[in-house]
A and B are shown apart, each in its own frame.
Chain A
Amino acid sequence: DTEVTQTPKHLVMGMTNKKSLKCEQHMGHRAMYWYKQKAKKPPELMFVYSYEKLSINESVPSRFSPECPNSSLLNLHLHALQPEDSALYLCASSQEGANYGYTFGSGTRLTVV
């Protein structure tokens, strides 16, 4: 299994809603990531988990809350988002270490109304 699976593929939520994005990989990768990508821009790093522990938080607002229940799963909990948070949210995983690239999931396209 060489895939990173993200659900849902599309999500529309109101500014008062609470929702969660889910990401799963079974490649034995110990580093997992959340990225945010706006149209015509490169992905922007949000969070990095290494061995199930949060290792990098790129000063992301607290309305985004990551969670890593186990080595295969990564969640992103969303609460009180703003319309400008609408974007493609990408999960990625990689083997630990500098020499390995990411494998990305297909993303969740989020629209906040």
Chain B
Amino acid sequence: RKEVEQDPGPFNVPEGATVAFNCTYSNSASQSFFWYRQDCRKEPKLLMSVYSSGNEDGRFTAQLNRASQYISLLIRDSKLSDSATYLCVVNAKDFNKFYFGSGTKLNVKP
């Protein structure tokens, strides 16, 4: 079983739509969770950390469900510029090691 699993998509949504991605992780001892965004042929960039109580940054909301071992990312009022691959990242038992999900591709259409 993979350490981190994501639906690869693609998710094709119209501008203004709300879209949600989930990511499941296998190690119940994981402590740190992140969402990264990667544009085509660019490096991944940290979008937001995911905190136990859930957190919001503008149109983006991240949630953590420890009992079910998943994290989610909600994007409201999608913009064309949100089109990218979204990677969830979870730390391993060794805190300097992180596992990447395979990424979920989002296409926002006009």
Q: CB distance A107 to B43 under 8 Å?
A: yes
State the Cβ distance, A42 to closest chain B Cβ, in Å. 4
List the A side residues contacting B95 at CB < 8 Å.
97-98
In Å, the complex CA distance between A107 and B44 comes to: 10
Q: Which of B14-22, B69-77, B96-104 lies at the interface? A: B96-104
B interface residues, how many (CB within 8 angstroms): 23
Residue of A with least CB distance to B6: A42
Measured between alpha carbons, how far is A102 from B95 in the docked complex, in Å? 12
- Which chain A residues numbered 78 to 113 have a C-beta less than 8 Å away from chain B? 88, 90, 94, 96-107, 109
Q: Mark B19-56, 1 if CB is under 8 A from A, else 0.
A: 00000000000011010100001111110010000000
Total number of residue pairs linking A and B with CB closer than 8 Å:
52
| One of B44, B91, B94, B103 near A56 (C-beta < 8 A) | B94
Quick check: which of A13-21, A43-51, A62-70 contacts chain B, the rest being far away? A43-51
The verdict on B89 contacting chain A, using a C-beta distance below 8 Å, is yes
Q: How many residues of A contact B (CB 8 A)?
A: 25
Q: Are B31 and A99 in contact (CB under 8 A)?
A: yes
- 15 interchain pairs (CB within 8 A)? A42-B102, A42-B103, A43-B44, A45-B98, A48-B96, A90-B44, A94-B96, A98-B31, A98-B91, A99-B32, A99-B49, A101-B49, A102-B89, A104-B44, A106-B43
**A-binding residues in B (CB < 8 A):** 31-32, 34, 36, 41-46, 49, 87, 89, 91, 94-98, 100-103
